[in-house]
Amino acid sequence: MNIAFIGLGNMGGPMAANLTRAGHSVTGFDPDAPAPEGVTMADSAAAAATGAEVVITMLPNGAILRQVAGEVIPAMPPGAVLLDCSTVDVESARAVADMAAAHDLLALDAPVSGGIGGAAAGTLTFMVGGSEAALAIAAPLLDVMGGRTVHCGPSGNGQAAKICNNMILGATMVATCEAFALADKLGLDRQAMYDVASTSSGQSWSLTTYCPAPGVGPTAPSDNDYKPGFAADLMLKDLGLSQQAAEAVDADTPMGAEALRQYRAFVETEDGAGRDFSAMLPRFAARSRG
């Protein structure tokens, strides 16, 4: 397929490279990132999108997505698909889908889970909002870039699924780190704590797949001095999106709000910026109740 890829940073770059390795023709645009392997670079987003069957975007936030959509949509041929893989607010995803429909285009919001490692390995999970017709066109590309695609319903529902999932993740990681720090102070060995919680009612992905305690459980960023697999800065962004959405629909999410408060303090006023989101454990281990 003839593909345009806008946003070639830590996630978009390896995703685009995987598409070229699968035999697709990819024209890219990014004002800052270098050209990934096999990608022909254009001098603007609109130039990259001209004539493309699918335009893929991987962008930092909803405002930039709206701006880029305004540039690429007029350049896309009727019936083409705008496939946004960014994590943005639900309102922006739905607004861009409406913009696309007004120009006889199809649109999908398809945020990802799996991080930089999943982008490089082509094992991402895509949470997709949009029509079945659009998904049928984009599915072969999603299969190259990922290992699983879940169709979550109409436009915006992919973003809704992503932020709800990551609200759970943020809250459970905070609780997991708190529990290990408490276990330390109670004299409970971390391995014993893991052996109990991982096989009983305290089990969670944060514990058994991404354990914040070094040397316990499968290898995770905690075993690499908390160098980010999923940065605390990105968790802060996603928790902010979850609370923005909760406010918009008048949903009571006190645990999500508290997780946001904890990560905001960690990233903005402590040493969490640039560290993995599981680095909450040494933070709690060093703190007292006061």
Which residues are part of the catalytic machinery?
162
**What is the C-alpha to C-alpha distance for residues 13 and 183, in angstroms, rounded to an integer?**
41
List beta partners, residue 28.
Answer: 5, 41
* Contact by Cβ (8 Å): 3, 29: no
Radius of gyration, alpha carbons of the chain: 20
Structure tokens given for 217: 């459980």
Q: What is the DSSP string of 164-177?
A: HHHHHHHHHHHHHH
**What is the C-alpha to C-alpha distance for residues 174 and 5, in angstroms, rounded to an integer?**
35
Other CB atoms within 10 A of residue 171 CB: 23
Other CB atoms within 10 A of residue 208 CB: 16
Kindly state the DSSP code that residue 74 receives in the 8-state scheme.
Answer: G
**What is the C-alpha to C-alpha distance for residues 75 and 96, in angstroms, rounded to an integer?**
15
**What is the C-alpha to C-alpha distance for residues 33 and 20, in angstroms, rounded to an integer?**
17
* Contact by Cβ (8 Å): 27, 35: no
**What is the C-alpha to C-alpha distance for residues 281 and 193, in angstroms, rounded to an integer?**
14
Structure tokens given for 188: 């409970």
